[in-house]
Amino acid sequence: MSRPELTGAAANFYNDTEARKYDTNSRMIGIQAEITKRALELLQLDTSFPNFILDVGCGSGLSGKVLEEAGHYWVGLDVSRDMLNVASERESSIKGDLAHHDMGTGLPFRSASFDGMISISALQWLCYSNSSKQVPKRRLVRFFSALYGVLKRGARAVLQFYPETPEQAVLISECAAKVGFAGGVVVDYPNSTKAKKHYLVLSFDRGYSTPKGLQSSAQSGVRVDSSTSSKRVKVVKKKGKGKTKEWIEHKKDVQRKKGFENVRKDTKFTGRKRKDKF
């Protein structure tokens, strides 16, 4: 299936018929609910009271339904008015509020408003521009800096997204780090094409380490850390040592963490010297 992001603006793609299809498709409902549950798990909320949560890219309210079942109150934003119309027809949604809004334009809330934020399958839309005025990187940074403001200190944000390329995941994490967030990308089921899911988990806490992805024998993910990404780390060259086994393994490890898939496996031959006669 081709990517809907390449067909134009989200508001145009999710029109009335598409929104209704989306909302009644049992496969979609199942996947969205599952992702939202996992996002809530990664959010690690204090559940001794109902939380006030922001849902960016709420769509037809499938994720809001899960939030409600967990007892939380929420505010949903979406760029597609048709999706919101479907969401507002949902009878049960009395704990949620909806607003028509484009996440690339910032967030219309005062500071420290929310206990947490989730976003399901929406963030990748910011990587595409649909008019000459839209600069993807500017929209991403604007979104993250607004997010930094509207969350309460100590709150976390979990954004599930579908990166088209590993570079997109890196760009998104870099923009998040630029505004001061700590955290990183958690990849669930990295070896499966269908079940593979990327979650960008953000926190204010400098020392925050992202939870492990599910069923991952080889842990992969891009670490976001503004302290290292903004400053260039000076590499001290050692003389005469050459490419040692440790150097090669480290280099491969970095490549894997960046998300490159065609990195050679580590074997007993890695970094071994060839025989003299060769």
Partner 1 sequence: MKLLTHNHLRCNTSSATTGYPLKITPTEIRITDDEYNETFVKHVMQNVNWPVLVQAASQCGITTLPPTLPPSLTTDPSFLRALHHVLVNVNIVSGVLKCPDTGREFGVKDGVCDFMLEEEECENVKI
Q: Which residues of the chain form contacts with partner 1 (CB under 8 A)?
A: 48-52, 73, 75, 77, 79, 81, 84-85, 88, 94-95, 97-102, 105-110, 112-114, 131, 133-135, 137-138, 141-142, 145-146, 150, 152
Q: How far is the CB of 111 from partner 1 (least distance, A)?
A: 9
Place of tokens 């496969």: 27
> CB-wise, 148 or 189, nearer to partner 1?
148
Q: How far is the CB of 18 from partner 1 (least distance, A)?
A: 18
> CB-wise, 137 or 257, nearer to partner 1?
137
- Residue 178, classed as helix, strand or coil, is helix
Q: How far is the CB of 187 from partner 1 (least distance, A)?
A: 26
Place of tokens 């910032």: 106
- Residue 188, classed as helix, strand or coil, is strand
Q: How far is the CB of 235 from partner 1 (least distance, A)?
A: 26
In this structure, is the dihedral angle defined by the CA atoms of residues 36, 41, 44 and 49, taken in order, positive or negative? positive
With contact defined as beta carbons under 8 Å apart, do 182 and 205 qualify? yes
> CB-wise, 102 or 188, nearer to partner 1?
102
User: Which of these, 240, 250, 55, lies nearest to 157 by C-alpha position?
Assistant: 55
DSSP string, 8-67: S-HHHHS-HHHHHHHHH-HHHHHHHHHHHHHHHHHHT--TTS--EEEEET-TTTHHHHHH
> CB-wise, 100 or 264, nearer to partner 1?
100
> CB-wise, 131 or 227, nearer to partner 1?
131
- Distance from C-alpha of 236 to C-alpha of 255, rounded to nearest angstrom: 20
Q: How far is the CB of 140 from partner 1 (least distance, A)?
A: 8
> CB-wise, 87 or 169, nearer to partner 1?
87
| Torsion angle of C-alpha atoms 249, 247, 251, 232, degrees rounded to 10 | 150
> Phi then psi for 21, rounded to 5 degrees?
-60, -45
Q: How far is the CB of 115 from partner 1 (least distance, A)?
A: 8
